[in-house]
Amino acid sequence: MSDDNSIQGGDRFPRTRWSVIDAARSGDETERVRAMDTLCAAYWKPVYKYVRLRWNRPASDAQDLTQGFFVQLIERNLLEKFDLAKSHLRTYLRLCVDSFVMNEEKAAKRLKRGGNVSHIALDFAGAEEELGGATMDPASIPSPESLEDFFEKEWIRGLFELAVEDLRKHCEANERERTFRLFEEYDLAGDENISYDKLAAEYGIPVTDITNALSWARREFRRGALERLREICGSEEEFQREARAVFGWEAK
Amino acid sequence: MKSLSDKAIERLRTGAEEPDLAGTRYRLLERIARGGMGVVYAAEDEKLERRVALKVLDVPGTDGDLANRLMREARVLARLEHPGIVPVHDVGTLADGRVFYTMKFVEGQRLDKFIEGVESMQDRLRLFLRICEAAAFAHTRGVLHRDLKPANIMVGPFGEVLVMDWGLAKILRGEAASAVRGADPEATIVEKLKQTGEESDSTKSSVITGHGTVMGTPGYMSPEQARGEVEVLDARSDIFSLGALLRFILAQKTPAEFTPRLDRSLEAICAKATAEQRDSRYSAVQELGQDVSRYLDGLAVGAHRESIFEKAARFYRRYRFFILLILAYLAMRIILLLVLKR
């Protein structure tokens, strides 16, 4: 029997870094920039899609508003007011977006927006393509409750995309490109008919190699997604709660 | 990169759930069940070449509430060595940071499924007595189970009964309390609730009350447990659950869809065990077990004061064979006398 103090296999999971919320509130400019980059990476897509659907804005307006929101988040220190005990970070940000868009509407009547807003480079074309299937008909805009679900779903999608991208880079750096291709084909392509046997035949390798490669890729993906998630959580407790929500562990 | 489809997200979620057993002596076999804290898998202990059940948390970290609870559950189990309590083999942290423990792999059925195939009332009661023995043993070690219900009882292929899921166990006192390190689940959660002012998702099934946090299963937990009166809980709380369990066992339909009508003595035993006021319940599980044993032996039970007719009926049931033998003998004698008189 192993002692519970001895960690089997070693604890490869990263310890808590300075959370993005603490970093964004800090006086250290480098930390603040890192925090904003992290937040922007995790949230810009859900924010953009949310503005398009919830506020029924055309693509060009939604792009300006998304960029403007993140600039304001930095300039006006909006995270200072965030209280971890009262809500999730994503709920707080969504409410900030609502408030920002409403204020912008009023301001637009007085002054044409965008005069002095610095822009952040974001792939709006890609986000727009993803929204391709979503209707822009105001009558079909979801209820406030389902909009919250929509925001959460898009946030999870964004988080997973970042983790997959991290995994791809990790595979490249470790000469495991084939592992990533297997992972793409089996877990990402959404092909119902794919099987380990088919992949083994396609790549000319034993099924056990497929099993091992996919197992490794999934572990790395999970580690990466949790690392990304930990960065944008304000406390260990929030991280545990969000991890259960992100991976659907509550629902099963 | 290309956007992830909903299907891909689901697949990623499923894949990410698998524990990383690298560096351990275990090999993953299959997922068995999901519990409140995490997932239970069947795994093979490659050193001893045997199948074990591996319970692992969802989320990494060794210092959270759930990690403390899982560690604590393993330590409680380690100190309850009894044939009716599932034995723990190992505890630790996986390479992916998740706390786990391994225990005996129990092949069999959950009580709620198993009982459907047990037709005889006597067999059902004997099964119940074995559950009582395990609970009584834990009580003598100062441990309350606090979640005794059909889903937490397994019955093996040879009729062996195992009480599972000690995640909500409460350490009452003395030796066990000092031996089992780690926070009491309730104490930890109540403290966190005070700090954050909100209910943690990990305690979603719990309800906050004026006294503490309610942990247990409605229908099986005692009124004092349901009120969250953590500090007053004692063996009588588990006795309430055992009473509810006995009622469940006796009320379950058999394959022939026959619902047995409860005898007054059994009804009285259930009623006494599940009394609203804990002072009116049995004071120890052994007392409850003795009453059930007395019923099985055809003796009067402590929970029910019999009328003269009930006493006679019980007497008849107990000595039916001898009574019938004597009656047959007397009948024969009368017939012989009548024949001889002619």
The ipTM value here is 0.72
CA distance A106 to chain B (A): 34
Best of A88, A155, A183, A187 to mutate (most B CBs within 10 Å, chain B): A187
* Whether residue B208 has pLDDT greater than 60: no
CA distance B97 to chain A (A): 5
A181 touches B at CB < 8 Å: no
Contacts of B180 (CB under 8 A, 6+ apart): B72, B75, B76, B79, B171
Phi-psi region of B207 (alpha: psi -120 to 50; beta: other; left: phi over 0): beta
Q: What is the pLDDT of residue B109?
A: 92
Token pair 């099964």 is at which residue? B127
Does the CA dihedral B74-B78-B84-B86 come out positive or negative? positive
- Mean pLDDT of the region B32-53: 89
CA–CA gap between residue B71 and residue B77 (Å, rounded): 10
CB contact under 8 A, B95 and A11: yes
Q: Which of B238, B77, B100, B221 is nearest to B162 (CA)?
A: B77
Enumerate the β-bridge partners of residue B213. B208
> Of A1-15, A238-252, B207-221, B272-286, where does mean pLDDT reach its minimum?
A1-15
Contacts of A171 in chain B (CB under 8 A): none
User: How long, in residues, is chain B?
Assistant: 342
More confident residue, B120 or B54: B54
CA–CA gap between residue B249 and residue B150 (Å, rounded): 8
Contacts of B91 in chain A (CB under 8 A): 1-2, 4
Q: What is the pLDDT of residue A141?
A: 55
Q: What is the pLDDT of residue A72?
A: 82
- Mean pLDDT of the region B137-156: 93
Range A24-29 contact pairs with CB under 8 angstroms and sequence separation of 24 or more: A24/A74, A24/A77, A24/A79, A25/A77, A25/A79, A25/A80
Q: What percentage of chain B carries pLDDT values higher than 70? A: 83
The answer for A 67-86 residues in CB contact with B (under 8 A) is 84-86
- Averaged pLDDT of chain A: 77
Interface A-B: count of C-beta contacts within 8 A: 133
Between the ranges A19-23, A111-115, A182-186, B305-309, where is the mean pLDDT highest?
A182-186
pLDDT band per the 50, 70, 90 thresholds, residue B140? very high
Token pair 């810009």 is at which residue? A44
CA distance B68 to chain A (A): 12
Q: What is the pLDDT of residue A205?
A: 93
CB contact under 8 A, A226 and B9: no
B70, B57 Cβ separation under 8 angstroms = yes
Range B227-234 contact pairs with CB under 8 angstroms and sequence separation of 24 or more: B230/B170, B230/B186, B230/B187, B230/B190, B233/B144, B233/B146, B233/B170, B234/B144, B234/B172, B234/B278
Amino acid at B163: V
A245 touches B at CB < 8 Å: yes
Per domain, the residue ranges of chain A are: 17-141, 143-252
Contacts of A8 in chain B (CB under 8 A): 23-24, 92-95
CA–CA gap between residue B95 and residue A29 (Å, rounded): 35
Out of A4, A84, A85, closest to residue B91 by CB: A4
> Of A27-41, B225-239, B275-289, where does mean pLDDT reach its minimum?
A27-41
B22 touches A at CB < 8 Å: yes
pLDDT, tens digit, 9 for 90 and up, residues A176-215: 999 999 999 999 987 878 888 899 999 999 988 898 899 8
Three-class SS of residue B310?
A: helix
pLDDT band per the 50, 70, 90 thresholds, residue A17? very low
A74, A36 Cβ separation under 8 angstroms = yes
pLDDT band per the 50, 70, 90 thresholds, residue A241? confident
CA angle B229, B232, B182 (to 5 degrees): 85
Q: What is the pLDDT of residue B4?
A: 86
B17 touches A at CB < 8 Å: yes
| B-chain residue closest to A129, CA distance | B3
- How many angstroms separate the Cα of A166 from the Cα of each of A58, A156, A208, B39? 31, 15, 25, 27
Q: What is the pLDDT of residue A25?
A: 75
Q: What is the pLDDT of residue A252?
A: 40
Q: What is the pLDDT of residue A251?
A: 41
CA–CA gap between residue B167 and residue B162 (Å, rounded): 15
CA angle B86, B291, B126 (to 5 degrees): 45
Sheet holding B99-104, edge to edge: B26-34, B38-45, B50-57, B99-104, B88-93
CB contact under 8 A, A248 and B13: yes
Contacts of A156 in chain B (CB under 8 A): 9
Tokens of B2: 């290309």
B66 touches A at CB < 8 Å: yes
CB contact under 8 A, B3 and A129: yes
Out of B12, B66, B96, closest to residue A160 by CB: B12
Q: How far is CA B25 from the centre of its chain?
A: 30
Q: What is the pLDDT of residue B194?
A: 36
Q: What are phi and psi of A234, to 5 degrees?
A: -85, -20
- Mean pLDDT of the region A91-103: 88
Q: What is the pLDDT of residue B203?
A: 33
pLDDT band per the 50, 70, 90 thresholds, residue B302? confident
Catalytic residues of B: 147
Q: What is the pLDDT of residue B157?
A: 86
Out of A161, A219, A240, closest to residue B59 by CB: A240
Contacts of B192 in chain A (CB under 8 A): 237
B83 touches A at CB < 8 Å: no
Token pair 């869809």 is at which residue? B257
Alpha helices, DSSP H only, in chain A? Answer: 20-25, 29-54, 59-75, 89-110, 124-130, 144-173, 177-183, 196-203, 207-231, 236-246
pLDDT band per the 50, 70, 90 thresholds, residue A133? low
- How many angstroms separate the Cα of B155 from the Cα of each of A26, A222, A225, B132, B152? 58, 36, 40, 14, 10
pTM (predicted TM-score): 0.64
Token pair 């009120």 is at which residue? B227
CA distance A188 to chain B (A): 5
CB contact under 8 A, B11 and A188: yes
| B-chain residue closest to A212, CA distance | B22
CA–CA gap between residue A49 and residue A66 (Å, rounded): 9
More confident residue, B287 or B208: B287
- How many angstroms separate the Cα of B295 from the Cα of each of A104, B160, B314? 79, 22, 10
pLDDT, tens digit, 9 for 90 and up, residues A65-94: 888 888 888 777 788 778 777 777 888 888
A210, A200 Cβ separation under 8 angstroms = yes
- Averaged pLDDT of chain B: 82
- Mean pLDDT of the region B34-51: 88
* b (16+ CB within 10 A) / e for A139-155: eebeeeeebbebbbebb
Q: What is the pLDDT of residue B100?
A: 94
CA angle A157, A161, A167 (to 5 degrees): 145
Quick one: CATH architecture of B17-105? 2-Layer Sandwich (3.30)
User: How long, in residues, is chain A?
Assistant: 252
A29 touches B at CB < 8 Å: no
* Whether residue B211 has pLDDT greater than 50: no
CA distance A213 to chain B (A): 12
pLDDT, tens digit, 9 for 90 and up, residues A160-170: 999 999 999 99
CATH superfamily of B107-305: Transferase(Phosphotransferase) domain 1 (1.10.510.10)
Tokens of B288: 């409850």
* Whether residue B207 has pLDDT greater than 50: no
| A-chain residue closest to B19, CA distance | A219
CB contact under 8 A, B9 and A239: no
* b (16+ CB within 10 A) / e for B51-86: ebbbbbbbbbbbebbbbbbbbbbbbbbbbbebebbb
* Whether residue A147 has pLDDT greater than 70: yes
* Whether residue B104 has pLDDT greater than 70: yes
Tokens of B180: 């089992």
CB contact under 8 A, B9 and A157: yes
CA angle B232, B234, B240 (to 5 degrees): 110
More confident residue, B6 or B271: B271
Contacts of A144 (CB under 8 A, 6+ apart): none
CA distance B237 to chain A (A): 28
